[in-house]
Structure 1
């Protein structure tokens, strides 16, 4: 149903929208525009919608806000924009103005944001052999149910223990996150092993949500609380640089900690690559580069450099476009059909490449890709986990 017009439309959204020169160079890199060639599903169209909402020229109807909700926030448009439009800021502020979407699965996201509870449930599920019945249960749920999608995403393998950092305060601190601290703990342990081999010491911060999903879904209050918790944990650490193995967290962590170097491990490892020696691995692997790896972390060159130091490893990056696999935080839970279309397009080249493994550095992307048609025949893995497995003198 249509809502009442927005009161006191913020001038910042209008100012950000006015930076757009409507050139259309963003259209070829927008994954949602590619699906149906609908201008309202493009960055240019969404900027026009945001400007109209901010100026009170349009009412925030369900139909109008759906175009904003469909945006993946991949930021490929921002990288292509010759006018320097801050599309990430515009999207965040416009969604905050509108508030969370009605279809947002609040209870499920609340669970995902609590790593201690999530890890306990995973242990209980493993004891009850949940992998035997979760597919049957998910098949009984409605096709568009976010709980069905979540059950399908659940990995069969048990979770790894939380990573243990160096006991004394160090220059580097690792942020474990929420879902990543449970489902990507192996990659975080791998990062610690590689960094130590390269001569770094790393402390590990407590595991909690950085607020990325809330921030990008327009849920401002919990996003602000999460940002404050990040700042408190950072100040208590005494570190000078913050690391995350999950590129999907980097933008939100940087927003919470302006002026603090927030990065993923790849650049540090590449700078010390001569200290790392890897055992041969005669294998072909396909490398999926998440949008946040390319558009936020911008460390894909360092990643490729390190992977190609493994003797015999044939690394083949998946082609771009498509530019996004469709995971995009909570997007795959809210819009599973669109997410599946984008995922299938991303996986399409795999048949010709015939890799033994599929690598991806973002936990949401990796779980999403693993559920795709035909993806079950390939092992999915974080690139850091592969490197740590091949590291000389590493068990």
Structure 2
């Protein structure tokens, strides 16, 4: 698979330079979810690097088939974690998709709706008034099997949470924190965001909440460069106005994009801070078994999987079992569950088989997209596991200090 190396102009030259770092050892193949799904070299990190290099050097045309192989990538970054040559695969994928531009299959209207919290919240309230969650499956069955709208309807939660963030108390000498609510998460993960504030206050932090808007992750990973950069500028303005010293997101899927927008700023998963002060937190016993789904971004971007486990295991009598990895990925991957619903369902069903084997009382996952995707799959298979963010469980069991 070696390709001729020659000087190139940016951005194609940068893509070729990144691709040249790959030594084609194949250690990425066993940890790649899409290679496990297809057993096709073009569906592996090594194969995608070769495709990106060929496109950048003008040795291949950007056909729909080649584009699909690139767009099937989940961005899980299992490959980066095991790569002995330290290939910057995430950067290569983002720049290649930017060079190609957004895919024709990209559901622009649906993604525009999901990235605007005010629109989403209004439509969700209207849906609640007409009892949409009760007949969403009937409506979904009348849409084409591979329609992004069908996948979105299937993932619609039964109720719309209401966000009521409490003002944070002064935090003494602790750094002042700002919480980034995001877009979908600001509507459907408001409870987890309030849980993060409650837990952080319990260990003495002051937390302010930024305005709710999209960080641009779906645009960035979809090759939509202009809106992704506009979102990054919105992040920079909101961060500057906050006056905080560290930025938090309860959604691991947002962390990489926020860090890209704010180089030099500490952008953290709250569980990282909470684990540092874990000895200050006391929890009520909870005698039940839970399955813990660790999102790819929590393991490979936030790298807080051990922190989540440490905190959950402080709850007396709680039996916590993480789902096996790798190469398992639930298939949500941002907008992947909308653009490739059949592939996403295959990956999700494999994940849910592992959940079923554990016979848990509930399923925990830190990423809202993963959680909605998994909940939709469990509903379709007639299973009744409640799903929630680990922080929500921890806040519910917290014994307040007196």
Is the structural similarity TM-score above 0.5?
yes
CA distance in 2, matches of 1:321, 1:76: 8
Deviations 1:302-332 (A, max 9, x none): 1100000000000000011343110000000
Which residue does the alignment assign to 1:78?
80
Among 113, 120, 123, the residue aligned to 1:121: 123
CA contact (8 A) 1:144 1:335 kept: yes
Stretch moving more, 85-94 or 154-163: 154-163
Give the one of 188, 192, 196 matched to 2:193. 188
How far the C-alpha of 1:177 sits from its partner, in A, is: 0.2
The change in CA–CA distance for 1:271 and 1:12 in structure 2 (over 3 A counts) is same
Cα deviations across residues 255-294 of structure 1 (Å, max 9, x unaligned)?
A: 0000000011011101111211100000000000000000
| Paired position in structure 2 for 1:313 | 318
Counterpart for residue 94 of structure 1: 96
Q: How many Å separate the matches in 2 of 1:23 and 1:329? A: 29
CA contact (8 A) 2:30 2:327 kept: no
Structure 1 stretches of 4+ moved >2 Å: 6-9, 162-170, 373-376
TM-score (norm 1): 0.96
Query: 2:51 aligns to what?
Result: 49
Aligned equivalents of 1:351 and 1:168: distance in 2? 44
SS in 1 for 2:320: strand
* Conservation of the 8 A alpha-carbon contact between 1:146 and 1:333: yes
Q: Tell me the distance in 1 between the aligned counterparts of 2:139 and 2:11.
A: 45
Equivalent of 1:379 in 377, 386, 394? 386
Q: Is the 8 A contact 2:202 2:400 kept in 1?
A: no
**Where does residue 241 of structure 1 map in the other structure?**
246
> 1:60 — aligned with what?
62
- Aligned residues of 1:164 and 1:204 also touching (Cα < 8 A): no
Alpha-carbon RMSD: 1.6
Give the aligned partner of residue 10 of structure 1: 12
Q: Residue 232 of structure 1 is aligned with which of 234, 237, 256? A: 237
2:281 to 276, 296, 302: 276
Q: Which moved more, 1:344-353 or 1:219-228?
A: 344-353
Structure 2: any 5+ residue segments left out of the alignment? Answer: 1-7
Contact 1:329 1:364 in 2 (8 A): yes
Q: Distance in 2 between matches of 1:251 and 1:114?
A: 20
Indicate whether 1:362 and 2:384 are aligned. Answer: no
Indicate yes or no: 2:349 matched with 1:340: no
Distance change >3 Å, CA 275–CA 391, structure 1 → 2:
same
Who is 1:110 aligned against? Answer: 112
Q: Give, in whole Å, the separation in 2 of the partners of 1:351 and 1:339.
A: 18
* 3-state SS of 2:377 partner: coil
Cα distance in 1 between the residues matched to 2:337 and 2:362: 23
Matched-pair contact (CA < 8 Å) for 1:166–1:204? no
Contact 2:30 2:36 in 1 (8 A): yes
**Which residue in the other structure is 1:222 paired with?**
227
Using the alignment, how far apart are the partners of 2:144 and 2:60 within structure 1? 34
Matched residue of 1:376: which SS?
Answer: coil
Residue 165 of structure 2 aligns with which residue? 163
Give the equivalent residue in structure 2 for 1:3.
none
Aligned residue in 2 for 1:286: 291
- Residue pair 2:168, 2:208 contacting (<8 A) in 1 also: yes
Shift of 1:65: 1.0
1:168 Cα deviation (Å)?
7.6
Report the counterpart of residue 5 of structure 2 in structure 1: none
Residue 198 of structure 1 pairs with residue 203 of structure 2: yes
How many corresponding residue pairs? Answer: 389
Please list the CA deviations of residues 203-226 of structure 1 after superposition, one character each: whole Å capped at 9, or x if unmatched.
000000000000000000000000
Structure 1: how far apart are the matches of 2:157 and 2:86? 40
**How far, CA to CA, are the matches of 1:388 and 1:329 in structure 2?**
26
Deviation at 1:371, TM superposition (A): 1.3
Please report how far the alpha carbon of residue 376 of structure 1 lies from its aligned counterpart in structure 2 after TM superposition: 3.5
Q: Which residue of 1 aligns with 2:21?
A: 19
Displacement of 1:9: 6.3
- Greater alpha carbon shift after TM alignment, 118-127 vs 378-387: 118-127
Partners in 1 of 2:102 and 2:227 — Cα distance? Answer: 11
Distance of 2:241 and 2:263 partners within structure 1: 16
Work out whether 1:132 is the aligned partner of 2:134.
yes
